[in-house]
Amino acid sequence: MGNSNNIQIVVTGGAGSLGIKLIAQLLKHYPKGGIHCLDVGESSIQNPRLTSHRLDIRSSKVLTIMKEIQPQIVFHLVGIMSNKEMTEAEIYDIEINGLHNALQASLAAGINHFIFVSSGSVYGYKAGLPRYIPESQALENDHIITYAKNKVAAEGVASKFCTKHMLNLTIFRPCSILGKNCNNVISRWFDRDIIIGLKDTMIPFSFVWDEDLVQCMIESVEREIFGSYNVAAEGWVTMEEIAEIQSKRFITLNQKVLGRIIGLLNRLSITEYKREHLDFIKYRPVLNRNKLDRIFAYKFQKTSRETFEYFLKWHGMPVENTQ
């Protein structure tokens, strides 16, 4: 697409940690373009070329704003991994009906390209998955985890809509995203004095640096790359290695015992995790990135381990130099 002086770009969910990184890079990449953040919160970035529109993605105002802006590109980052203040029905409404509202507004505004950030969780958390999961792997329709279930449904909505209306679509399926400002259900599992794993289970954690993901997203616009792509850094880090990197004690528990403990702590409102999160921890998906590497020119800057260590340094957690 080139560095068009008149380009207008919309980023939904732009006030979140990934949105902040993306907008910062878009402002650099398009020095004369206009960026628009659509979010319930105000963007922390202050720039005369950035306009923050505070609204719910389900609002009818989305259509009004899109028609006024007439953007060429829409990045849809809206996603709720966990929120104690919302019911599952409310989260679904935002994720699915909000996405459909954004798609309809995009179509009405005549956009060229819709980029949707999904999740590697769409493949499920279960036994029997390939060691390295390719994009050809069927998506899991029987999810216990709400976030993953909603992402599968959202991909279906986006794909069906864009196919019907001949709208260019790119879907990114990242593994666990870490960076300076990341704080999510995955990162919080490691923010404790003792790291707990499951007995006789390796548990590989695959991470991706948020900056690496952002660069892939921008390249998809620049080179008009469409389709679905896994996004993951090289390698993985086991639960035991995560404890070692932080110089923390590592213990393993029987699955039934850990399940009971988590269930009790959840009932006491001590933890956000539930018993169903055991499969979420036990069966960590490791994504195959070959398709992205064949098509994209961008070279990832950090491995999974380097991404995790970078995250720790920015969050004030100790890092043991074991290499």
Chain segment 144-185, per-residue pLDDT in tens: 788 999 999 999 999 999 999 999 999 999 999 999 877 666
Of 1 and 132, the structure prediction assigns the larger pLDDT to 132
Chain segment 198-226, per-residue pLDDT in tens: 887 878 899 999 999 999 999 999 999 99
- The CATH superfamily assigned to 8-182+206-235+285-303 is NAD(P)-binding Rossmann-like Domain (3.40.50.720)
Q: Which residues neighbour 218 within 8 Å (Cβ) at sequence distance 6 or greater?
A: 22, 25, 26, 29
Average pLDDT over every residue of 61-81: 95
8 A C-beta contact, residue 116 and residue 154: yes
8 A C-beta contact, residue 26 and residue 9: yes
In terms of Cα–Cα distance, which of 32, 17, 77 is closest to 217? 77
Cα separation, 210 vs 271, in Å, equals 26
- Burial class from Cβ neighbours inside 10 Å (0-12, 13-18, 19+) for residue 299 reads exposed
The pTM of the whole model exceeds 0.75: yes
8 A C-beta contact, residue 286 and residue 236: yes
Q: Which residues neighbour 47 within 8 Å (Cβ) at sequence distance 6 or greater?
A: 27, 35
Cα separation, 195 vs 178, in Å, equals 18
Domain boundaries in the chain? 8-182+206-235+285-303
